[in-house]
């Protein structure tokens, strides 16, 4: 899929992986809608890449519909949907003090990470379906979702987060089959440990991050958001990549603690 001259919508693009993706797509000639809850940072990112900010809660139907309407009205055909919005949550099924996992917190993580991803997929794809095919294959667009290696092998103390990401992985093949009828591809990236503001800042965060990289095989460091964005772009530009779940993790495998 040629990115130049397209419109794209990237959720969670006020920060981290989404921000780097928005920058990469804009550099490739795409008009990007920065769809995020964070208005201040989202506007700043949009302004710096010549894009448009749309305040969006991915878990909310009307909010996502409004953001997709903006993306579909930019003039260039909407061809790219990237789901990067997400939240973390660290709690065990039963805590060390014997307390069961908070159910509202579990629901919230599923709502934002899993349902939010599906929400933008379904509303975005319906808008892409209205465009003319872009090439001889009849291709109209591409969806890239962001899961996590936690969704493949689980992460200790993150049962809600792992379940939400496992759900995104599970949607990949059926969504790709459903959307083939309208000439769309769907791929899901499973990042390992990537250096973004999700881990916080300061000495305590640095100490935590140093521990996280211990099981990384090579290169022995966190991944960068730019490396993630580079993969998103490659998956969009390579027309034969479809219905795939791709690890992006320096060879890391999470161990039980």
Ligand X SMILES: NC(=O)c1ccc[n+]([C@@H]2O[C@H](COP(=O)([O-])OP(=O)(O)OC[C@H]3O[C@@H](n4cnc5c(N)ncnc54)[C@H](O)[C@@H]3O)[C@@H](O)[C@H]2O)c1
3-class state of residue 92 by DSSP: coil
> Do residues 145 and 187 make contact, with C-beta atoms less than 8 angstroms apart?
yes
Task: Kindly tell me which residue out of 22, 28, 85, 176 binds ligand X, with binding defined by CB under 6 A.
Answer: 85
Q: Taking contact as CB under 6 A, which single stretch among the options 2-10, 99-107, 194-202, 238-246 is the one that binds ligand X? A: 194-202
Q: Is 1 in the site for ligand X (CB under 6 A)?
A: no
**Cα 173 to Cα 186: distance, rounded to the nearest angstrom:** 8
Tell me the torsion sign for CA atoms 18, 19, 22, 27. negative
Q: Is 64 in the site for ligand X (CB under 6 A)?
A: no
- Lay out the site mask for ligand X across 32-61 (x = CB under 6 A, - = otherwise): ----xxx-----------------xxxx--
> Do residues 47 and 59 make contact, with C-beta atoms less than 8 angstroms apart?
no
Q: Is 109 in the site for ligand X (CB under 6 A)?
A: no
Q: Is 193 in the site for ligand X (CB under 6 A)?
A: yes
Is position 240 annotated as part of the catalytic site?
Answer: no
Pairing outcome for strands 223-224 and 194-195: parallel
Locus of tokens 């039980």:
256
* CA 57 distance to own-chain centroid: 14
Residue 238 beta carbon to ligand X: minimum distance, rounded to whole angstroms: 21
**Cα 224 to Cα 4: distance, rounded to the nearest angstrom:** 24
Q: Is 116 in the site for ligand X (CB under 6 A)?
A: yes
Element (DSSP H or E) covering residue 31? strand 31-36
Task: Kindly tell me which residue out of 112, 171, 176, 236 binds ligand X, with binding defined by CB under 6 A.
Answer: 112
Residue 194 beta carbon to ligand X: minimum distance, rounded to whole angstroms: 4
Residue 178 beta carbon to ligand X: minimum distance, rounded to whole angstroms: 22
Please identify every residue annotated as catalytic.
161
Q: Which chain residues interact with ligand X by CB under 6 A?
A: 11-12, 14-18, 36-38, 56-59, 84-87, 112, 116, 146, 148, 191, 193-194, 196-198
């Amino acid at each position: 899929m040629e990115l130049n001259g397209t419109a794209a919508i990237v959720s969670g693009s006020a920060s981290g992986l989404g921000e780097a993706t928005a920058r990469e797509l804009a550099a490739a000639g795409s008009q990007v809608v920065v769809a995020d809850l964070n208005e201040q940072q989202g506007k700043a990112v949009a302004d710096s890449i010549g894009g448009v900010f749309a305040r969006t809660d991915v878990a909310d139907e009307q909010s996502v519909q409004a953001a997709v309407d903006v993306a579909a009205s930019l003039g260039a055909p909407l061809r790219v949907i990237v789901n990067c919005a997400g939240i973390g949550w660290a709690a065990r099924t039963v805590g060390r003090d014997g307390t069961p996992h908070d159910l509202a917190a579990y629901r919230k993580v599923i709502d934002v990470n899993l349902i939010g991803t599906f929400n933008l997929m379904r509303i975005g794809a319906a808008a892409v379906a209205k465009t003319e095919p872009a090439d001889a294959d009849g291709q109209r667009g591409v969806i890239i979702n962001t899961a996590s290696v936690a969704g493949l092998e689980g992460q200790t103390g993150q049962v809600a987060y792992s379940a939400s990401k496992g759900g995104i992985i599970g949607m990949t093949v059926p969504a790709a089959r459903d959307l083939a009828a309208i000439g769309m591809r769907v791929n899901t990236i499973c990042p390992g440990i990537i250096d973004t503001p999700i881990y916080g800042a300061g000495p305590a965060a640095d100490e935590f991050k140093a521990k996280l990289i211990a099981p990384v095989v090579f290169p022995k460091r966190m991944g960068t958001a730019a490396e993630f964005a580079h993969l998103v772009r490659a998956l969009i530009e390579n027309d034969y990549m479809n219905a795939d779940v791709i690890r992006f993790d320096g060879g890391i495998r999470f161990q039980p603690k």
